[in-house]
């Protein structure tokens, strides 16, 4: 176990049914829960994390909707996945921006020691944080098979979801589902 990694990106209350929630996000919850339960490898979670000063940040100026502020209800991973995270003892990376360089760096160290065969990503939002993390991981480890399960991802809109999947395909990230 550990040779395969599943990264569950930002399955947080604010992105599912909170301040930035969408119908598409709520529709993938059961599929993501099942994916985590069935995954034969290590599972890692990420959590979008902002401070009280969010509106003063560049992201806040470009997306003026307060979300995922540390220690608020919206910042929390949705209940069924948080329960699974605790049960599995899975790591969770709090990331201040779309992509998590610390996650990519940690995975690269594992890869260089021969402890990583593949990385698969699922979660929210396909066109922002999923694509950012997939591209970072692929850039850090160009020979590592990286994939995304389209059926376990949702974008800001269905059109942006499809566009992000196409971008990932162009960058040699396998799109499943």
What is d(CA 177, CA 173) in angstroms, rounded to the nearest whole number?
A: 13
Partners of 176 in the beta sheet?
149
User: Which class for 5: exposed (0-12), middle (13-18), buried (19 or more C-beta within 10 A)?
Assistant: buried
| Distances, alpha carbon 32 to alpha carbons 39, 111, 132, in Å | 10, 25, 19
Q: What is the pLDDT of residues 125-150, one digit of tens each?
A: 999 999 999 999 999 999 999 999 99
**How much of the chain, in percent, has pLDDT values that exceed 70?**
99
CB atoms within 10 A of CB 81: 22
CB atoms within 10 A of CB 2: 10
- Which pLDDT does position 61 carry in this prediction? 95
What is d(CA 86, CA 34) in angstroms, rounded to the nearest whole number?
A: 16
Phi-psi region of 6 (alpha: psi -120 to 50; beta: other; left: phi over 0): beta
Instruction: Report phi then psi at 113, rounded to 5.
Output: -90, 0
- Which pLDDT does position 1 carry in this prediction? 47
Query: What is the DSSP code (8-state) at residue 69?
Result: B
pLDDT bucket at 2, cuts 50 / 70 / 90: low
Q: What is the pLDDT of residues 62-91, one digit of tens each?
A: 999 999 999 999 999 999 999 999 999 999
5's enclosing H/E stretch is: strand 4-9
């Amino acid at each position: 176990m550990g040779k395969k990694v599943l990264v569950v990106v930002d399955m947080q209350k604010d992105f599912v049914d909170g301040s930035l929630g969408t119908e598409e996000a709520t529709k993938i919850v059961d599929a993501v829960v099942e994916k985590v339960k069935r995954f034969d490898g290590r599972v890692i979670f990420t959590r979008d994390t902002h401070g009280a000063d969010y509106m003063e940040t560049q992201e806040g100026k470009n997306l003026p909707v307060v979300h995922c502020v540390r220690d608020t209800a919206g910042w929390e991973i949705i209940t069924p996945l948080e329960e699974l995270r605790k049960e599995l003892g899975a790591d969770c990376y709090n990331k201040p921006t779309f992509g998590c360089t610390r996650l990519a760096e940690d995975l690269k160290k594992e890869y260089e020691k021969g402890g990583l065969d593949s990385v698969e990503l699922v979660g929210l939002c396909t066109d922002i944080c999923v694509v950012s993390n997939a591209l970072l991981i692929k850039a850090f480890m160009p020979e590592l098979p990286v994939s995304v399960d389209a059926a376990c991802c949702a974008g800001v809109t269905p059109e942006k979801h499809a566009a992000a999947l196409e971008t990932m395909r162009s960058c040699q990230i396998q799109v499943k589902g």
